[in-house]
Amino acid sequence: MGLLILVPVTFATVFFGQVHQGRVVNKWTSSGKNGPYYQIQYEYEVGGRQRVDERSCSAQRYDQMGDVSAGRSSQPIEVRTLNLLGREYKETFLPGESHWAPIRWIAWPALVWNAFLSVFLWILFVDPWRKKRLVRWGQPVVGRIFQKHIRHSRSDTYYLHCAFDHPGIGPRQVEISVQTHLYDLAIEGELVTMLCYPLRKRPVTIYEYGDFECR
């Protein structure tokens, strides 16, 4: 959630933040596993107060700055700040840098990380919630198990194939995964209670072999 919130905050800082003129006052390199890191120190003024901060940059832009000794910078920099709920957000741009760069840097990790976590969110919360609602509010119809099969992988998945007349849609055949011990109890040709919503293909479950029951 924090990463997702930072995307619009970064956008607002970049395009609607207050613009300040800054200047590089120092620069240096440090060694790392992947080669040298290029760092700069810069200062800018906000509300009559002088502020100093640091950031990294590319080797090309580092060389373009030239000599910054004695607090002199060959090129000015742009600092954009946004005060939101008492907290200041800041983005710094060297000459020639795209204003979209910081947005891309935060947007991609936010999308990738949340896409990854959404799988677990669906498995642990959304899917059980949908099944629980289906047991409570779904329409029961008679169905028949016509096939059982196991999909072999690192963790085997057990499926029951059922045929039933779906309200508002017509005859349907569905494949539903069930727990191992319930799979062993199921019998091909057995009549079961299918739960579904009229005119909606999903979700569908088998009441007798589902994870929830009515009380």
**Cis, peptide link before residue 203, omega less than 30° from 0:** yes
Tokens 């979700």 correspond to what residue?
203
pTM for the structure as a whole: 0.59
- Average pLDDT across the chain, whole number: 89
Percent of the chain at pLDDT > 90 equals: 52
Distance CA 84, CA 95 (A): 26
Which domains are seen in the chain, by residue range? 2-104 (no CATH), 138-209 (2.40.50)
- Write out pLDDT tens, residues 128-174: 999 999 999 999 999 999 999 999 888 899 999 999 999 999 999 99
Residue 122 in 3-state DSSP?
Answer: helix
